[in-house]
Amino acid sequence: MILLSGYTHVSAAELTHDVSQHHQQIFQKSLELTRQAVQSIEATNLYKEGVLLARDKEYEQAIERYDQALSMAPDIYFIYNDRGLAYKNLMQYEKALEDYNRTIDIQPDYAVAFNNRGIVHFKMNNRDQAIADYTRAIEFDPFYAAAYYNRANIYKGMKQDDDSLADYTEAIELKAGYVQAYNNRGILHQRRGDIEAAMEDYRRAIYWDSSYAFAYNNLAILHLRDKDYAKAIELYTQAIESDPDYTMAYYNRGNAYKDSEQYDLAAQDYTKALELDPNLAKAYYQRGHVYKAQEEYRKSVQDFSEVIRLNIGFKDSHLARAYAYFKLKKIDECCSDIQTAKSLGLKISDDFFDTIESSQPPCGQN
């Protein structure tokens, strides 16, 4: 038999071996794909468990699930993002930044990661980096309302009111019923002196969310400013009904009661505010004045003493306490507070000083 040049004879045994080897390669590849698919399913399930744990604020356990998921699927960018959220909520900001950076490395146009990284930069007082990240988020997703809102908050803090107003307005246009944006834009309008615009924004926030306590509180402040005590008290009460632990709503309603000379109710509200925040110096200060108006001078002394101990402003507490001491006939203590008030540069009214000096013995004498 004549063989053609260049032709290699292959035996049946060799042919069978080659085919079998090819089948084996296909089989191994199939096993690898199956393994990867199973790992992907397991990683997805672990990720879902992490999400549920994070939703229940079990952040450390959530991180464990995310770690396990990433060990099986190390290139799934959104798991890094969610782990970053968990670290952020645990105030482990450096670790959160690492995860957001990793997310962006894998998915460079992921607007959510830029927004979230911006939040962490803001928490770390890196305002410029935060603004840059929010801006990048908006560049990748021009309809990202939360990024506009977050950037607006920073601009508001920097008193860049025009930029802040523009961003709040854009957020509201992009997201119907964005109550936080309405509320914060109202605060901005109020700061700029546009009271009608502020009131309208607070009302819109309440329209979209009738349980939004902050808007009730802020709207009440404006009514109290106009001495519309009944309306202010009504709105503060709605704020408290929406959030029974809202310290400032109790404090503010206390002010409305005090200004309308409803002293018993004022004292009750200041007391509740202090139960929620025992270091709220201004609640002690205002309650001290309420007790003074009710001629409960011992209680008044106690409250002004707390203000002085906390040492957070309210320097005239020494004068207020001096008056209460005088009424309690504790002249030495009264005179001591007057001297302290003088050393703090406080002006003492002639009427008050004459009243004290007419005491027996007058200040400075034994």
Q: Cis link prior to 361 (omega < 30° from 0)?
A: yes
pLDDT the model gives residue 348? 79
Q: Which of 70-79, 161-170, 216-225, 229-238 has the lowest mean pLDDT?
A: 70-79
Q: Could you give the dihedral angle defined by the CA atoms of residues 327, 328, 334 and 335, in that order, rounded to the nearest 10 degrees?
A: 90
Exposed, middle or buried, 310 (CB in 10 Å: 0-12/13-18/19+)? middle
Q: What percent of the chain has pLDDT over 90?
A: 77
Q: pLDDT, tens digit, for every residue of 264-318?
A: 999 999 999 999 999 999 999 999 999 999 999 999 999 999 999 998 888 899 9
| In contact, 83 and 66? CB cutoff 8 Å | yes
**Cβ–Cβ under 8 Å, residues 189 and 197:** yes
pTM for this prediction: 0.82
Measured CA to CA, the distance from residue 353 to residue 363 in angstroms comes to 10
Q: Helices 179-191 and 145-157: crossing angle, nearest 10°?
A: 20
User: What is the chain's mean pLDDT, rounded?
Assistant: 89
Reported as a pLDDT band with limits 50, 70 and 90, residue 21 is: low
Q: What is the pLDDT of residue 181?
A: 98
Please report the DSSP string for 174-242 in residue order. Answer: HSTT-HHHHHHHHHHHHHTT-HHHHHHHHHHHHHH-TT-HHHHHHHHHHHHHTT-HHHHHHHHHHHHHH
What are the helix (H) ranges across the chain? 12-55, 59-72, 77-89, 93-106, 111-123, 127-140, 145-157, 161-174, 179-191, 195-208, 213-225, 229-242, 247-259, 263-276, 281-293, 297-310, 317-327, 331-343, 350-357
Residue 254's CB is within 10 A of a number of other CB atoms, namely: 26
What's the token pair of residue 101?
């950076």
The two tokens of residue 227 are 């001495």
The 8 Å CB, 24+ separation contacts for 184-190 are: 184/149, 184/152, 184/153, 184/156, 185/152, 186/215, 186/218, 187/156, 187/218, 188/156, 188/161, 188/164, 190/218, 190/222
Q: Is the pLDDT of residue 20 over 60?
A: no
d(CA 242, CA 234): 13
State the Cα–Cα distance between residues 70 and 88, nearest whole angstrom.
18
- Contact by Cβ (8 Å): 56, 62: no
Third-level CATH fold of 41-142 = 1.25.40
Q: Which two tokens stand for residue 238?
A: 């709605």
Task: Kindly list the domain boundaries of the chain, sorted by start residue.
Answer: 41-142, 295-366
Give residue 87's identity as a one-letter amino acid code. Answer: Y
**pLDDT band per the 50, 70, 90 thresholds, residue 1:** very low
The predicted pLDDT at position 83 comes to 97
pLDDT over 80 (residue 202): yes
> Where is average pLDDT lowest: 217-231, 273-287, 316-330, 336-350?
336-350
